[in-house]
Amino acid sequence: MKQDLYQAPDYFMMDELLSEEHLLIRNAARDWVKREISPIIEKACQKAEFPKKIISGLGEIGALDHISLSNTGVLVWIKFLMV
């Protein structure tokens, strides 16, 4: 597994507009993505597959409000928390 070296530069100085709480939420989401998504996303993209195992993780961190799967496994409704 390659190390994720992305640092998220703040070119537009958006961090100055965020409260401490917003920064904590954003950083928690970024940490989760680096830990859970970055190691698997390249392989999933190459195989053109959605990594369904991330759905439960998104729910655990509060990024999903509601999710429903059809009988074909297609995501019917997702409301994301914008971070």
pTM over 0.75: no
Q: Which residues pair with residue 67 across a beta bridge?
A: 78
pLDDT in tens, 6-34: 778 889 998 888 889 888 888 888 889 88
Pairwise CA distance, residues 23 & 34, whole Å: 16
pLDDT in tens, 46-65: 999 989 888 888 878 877 76
